[in-house]
Amino acid sequence: MGKNHFMERESIGKLMLKFSVPCIMSLLVSSLYNIVDQIFIGQGIGYLGNGATNVVFPVTIIALAMALMVGDGCAANLSICQGCKDQDRARKSVGNAIVLLVAAGVVFTVLLFLFKDQFLKAFGATENNFAYAREYFVYIMIGIPFFMFSNGMNSIIRADGSPQFAMISTLIGAVINVILDPIMIFVFHWGMMGAALATITGQIVSAILAVYYLCHMKSIKMETECFRVDPIISKKVLSLGISSFLTQISIVAIMAAMNNMLVIYGAQSRFGSDIPLTVVGIVMKVFQIVIAFSVGIAAGSQPVIGFNYGAGLNHRVKKIFKLMMAAEACVGVFSMIIFECFPMEIIKLFGNESALYNEFAVLAFRTYLCTIVLCCIQKSVSIFLQALGKPILSMGLSLLRDFILSVPLVLFLPKLLGIKGTLYSAPAADMISFIAVIAVTRYLFGHLKKDEKEERETAFNRGEETINLVSE
């Protein structure tokens, strides 16, 4: 357990770079999986093929949500246990997390096989792209257990003090996907099936590397008894990870609502149903790249936050928070400038389509992502709360922006503004939820300040007791 003592001594800036950069790279590479498929499918099949991947995308997000609930929850608990020097509980947390990841992956895959058509229809498959979506979906399902295991393990690996390994394992999987995609689509002419097979091959390799790491963990040694399910520990892991789950699952709710609204109101506009469905899918995936940076900064800092909070070093916790917010603001502002100034350059990566297609694409990027800086800050604060072991506050903040506000706005605004109303839902949710972020931040700093005061008083009292004992 002493192997992580550097977390309470090394400078905050260095620690954040050490953990956040690999985390950003891991999440970025994970986001690129679907985007790489989309780029090659767009070039080889066209926008209907891209529309099909957008229909399937929510399924992978559901899988990721479950994986991160277990992985991030375990990572938060592991870091706190390390700060408190509780090795036995740390080991059991990891063991229980592994069991939960494997069980969830198998059960979810079975459900997907049984209800594949129902899933596709629920996520907005149209008559024109249904065949493409079904072909892609059938093969993507095979990789779901491996995808979930590797992503859940990545969080645990980072908390164990090896963010570089998490990054490398994810990167290797992505490189395999990038290499195989053009071969299977353009050389073997396997179309949607080829894109899916390239993806799941990379996922399997990443999962194998995660298993290897599990057998060679740095701060703890895994034993057979660690994998015995403990309801109390499992509940703790899941409660700490619920915010990560809700953050991701809310994307599914938004996409399901959004896709259906795009189909309905798109048909009533000059753009039709397929253009808005395809474009917004691309926008959401590009959005995920920015969120990879945002969440990577916060999630990468999670072990440092949890360790220092567990060790009672609240002054360092506050420093981490301030530095995180500055970094998130930079990411958000830079991204907003790119989306507002260069939307066509982004769209062209996914294939050259009609003028009407390009018109809606430019509108979508400039409208839907105009307040992305507020979204970055909100997600970072939510993860920070998770690292402090405050799942209720973290969950509430995640739900507010990503579900309570976004879904009703997606359903309501098109009634007033038509197809454009779907695009205004995100900025409206960002601006309203940011008020809550400010309130939570003020509460958080008050809480940390109070804990600091109590710590100083305790230390002072201990000093007085020591003096009295010596004088006696």
How many CB atoms are closer than 10 A to CB 460?
10
- What confidence tens digit (pLDDT) does each residue in 112-161 have? 999 998 988 888 777 888 888 899 999 999 999 999 999 999 989 988 88
* Mean pLDDT, residues 244-269 taken together: 84
Which residue in the block uniquely carries the two structure tokens 């992503």? Answer: 151
Report the number of secondary-structure helices (H) and strands (E) in the chain: 17, 0
Can you spell out the DSSP letters for 78-137? HHHHHHTT-HHHHHHHHHHHHHHHHHHHHHHHHHHHHTHHHHHHHTT--TTTHHHHHHHH
**Distance of alpha carbon 462 from its chain centroid, rounded?**
44
The per-residue pLDDT of the chain, averaged, comes to 85
Q: Is the dihedral of CA 444, 449, 454, 459 positive or negative?
A: positive
SS3 190: coil
What's the pLDDT at 147? Answer: 94
**34 or 370: which leads in pLDDT:** 370
Are the beta carbons of 370 and 291 closer than 8 angstroms?
Answer: no
Residues 6 or more apart from 433 whose CB is under 8 A from it? 374, 378, 397, 400, 401, 405
How many CB atoms are closer than 10 A to CB 176?
18
Could you tell me the two tokens for 320? 């981490």
How many CB atoms are closer than 10 A to CB 14?
10
Cα-based distances in Å from 382 to 23, 358, 455: 17, 35, 25
CA distance 107 to 145: 9
Could you tell me the two tokens for 32? 């690129």
pLDDT band at 6 (very low <50, low <70, confident <90, very high): low
pLDDT band at 454 (very low <50, low <70, confident <90, very high): low
Q: Which helix (H) or strand (E) holds 35?
A: helix 12-44
Amino acid at 164: Q
Quick check: 49 pLDDT over 80? Answer: no
230: buried, middle or exposed (CB in 10 Å: 19+, 13-18, 0-12)?
middle
- Count of alpha carbons within 13 angstroms of residue 102, beta-carbon side: 10
Number of residues that make up the chain: 472
Are the beta carbons of 388 and 305 closer than 8 angstroms?
Answer: yes
How many CB atoms are closer than 10 A to CB 471?
6
Could you tell me the two tokens for 446? 């008050």
CA distance 91 to 223: 8
What's the pLDDT at 455? Answer: 55
pLDDT cut 90: percent of the chain above it: 36
Helix axes 274-310, 314-341, angle to 10 degrees: 160
Cα–Cα nearest to 338, from 374, 366, 360: 366
CA distance 251 to 58: 8
CA distance 398 to 378: 8
- What confidence tens digit (pLDDT) does each residue in 61-112 have? 899 999 999 998 998 888 888 777 778 888 889 999 999 999 999 999 999 9
CA distance 198 to 179: 8
Q: State the virtual CA torsion across 60, 125, 367, 397 in degrees, nearest 10.
A: -40
What's the pLDDT at 467? Answer: 46
Helices (H), 184-313: 191-214, 231-267, 274-310
Are the beta carbons of 303 and 79 closer than 8 angstroms?
Answer: yes
pLDDT band at 470 (very low <50, low <70, confident <90, very high): very low
